[in-house]
Structure 1
């Protein structure tokens, strides 16, 4: 598999407060990867740097073989990167259908394109509520809409920041089932979440960070055999 995203020696700061210290991350096409760590350890900052929202102070970020650390967020998105942000951030005064249609783009030319029909097939509940406004949806439905909206851009890389945060257990299961279906279809995904056992079953490889640095990287089999790592770096 070819490398889709490669982050090397990434240093990022907010003003005088440095958050990332030599961050490293590599994701191959068709792979599901995770970024794990306690709150405040640099996971979201890593994502923001990759997306161009918080520019890197130094280091390199390559996406689809191109350096992107100096590019604008809009240019990076148009290259085929999509995020399901923490807090979902759907448009509250647009309907489900309008939220989805607003993001429609065919960026990944090699994949069967995501359409309204495909998103509705993945999330039948969104089809049932296609006329509802964003602010009329439950938290779980909003998360489904946020994922569907990101898929409508037909991304090469789908990033989920706090994929199941605040969701009821049954809805969490639905989201995990959705991500497994996307993996089976070959979608490359980066997931931030805290449910390690579910992520071990879903993902190919994992990166644990603490205080803005990588402390462990490896495949699911290795992480499953070292639960002490979960307690030490994730707190589960």
Structure 2
């Protein structure tokens, strides 16, 4: 579904990505993990067209998307839950969800308000509230719901549970597991290796703008030295 080869990217004269590669197949949950500042979010921004790649390949369902504008990439079927959530603060929960809702790919059983409220009952209870009045965890639920309302074929979650209370993190992980069970392809960025090892199918480790390791959850969980070397503090 998504294939990245030798991806390079920079902010002005500062090169951030040197050689990033990863693959995601339909229905897979894949992670991109590593310490802060290694290039994870930059990789996501390059996928979404928010920065222009300086080299390498990005294809989605066999189509080269490197030169497409962000809105066209989204219309191809990629939904992003950005780092920091970035909900529309002055709009209500319901308005946030319907603002970008679409089913351009004519998917069967599309995401609707009712389905999102079923996944996140708190959002249904707060449908008329301004998004700025929600807790951080509720805003993350809203950001996920908003992305799902675009009915993407691939969902990207950047720092899925960063800064959230443990009980809210558990709720988010439970919902991600439910999405996986429904066959959603997901790219996850997070630091909770124990949970990622249970939920994800495969993992990619990035260090200083390069993919330095890839493997299954069993491989990752069996290699404590790898986790400490590339991910631990």
Deviations 1:50-95 (A, max 9, x none): 0000110011100011000011111101101111011100011100
Distance 2:53 2:108 in 1: 30
Count of aligned pairs between the two proteins = 233
Task: Indicate which of 48, 51, 55 corresponds to 1:54.
Answer: 51
Structure-1 residue corresponding to 2:68:
71
The answer to whether 1:160 aligns with 2:151 is no
Alignment check: 8 A CA contact 1:88 1:142 kept: yes
Alignment check: 8 A CA contact 2:107 2:151 kept: no
Structure-2 residue corresponding to 1:209:
206
Change (3 A) 1:111 1:222: farther
Task: Indicate which of 41, 45, 66 corresponds to 1:44.
Answer: 41
Query: What runs of 5+ residues in structure 1 fail to find an aligned partner?
Result: none
The answer to whether 1:11 aligns with 2:8 is yes
Shift of 1:22: 1.6
The answer to whether 1:225 aligns with 2:225 is no
Distance 1:39 1:218 in 2: 20
Task: Indicate which of 116, 119, 122 corresponds to 2:116.
Answer: 119
Distance 1:136 1:128 in 2: 13
Alignment RMSD, CA only? 0.8
Shift of 1:110: 3.8
Structure-1 residue corresponding to 2:135:
138
Alignment check: 8 A CA contact 1:107 1:155 kept: no
Alignment check: 8 A CA contact 1:8 1:25 kept: yes
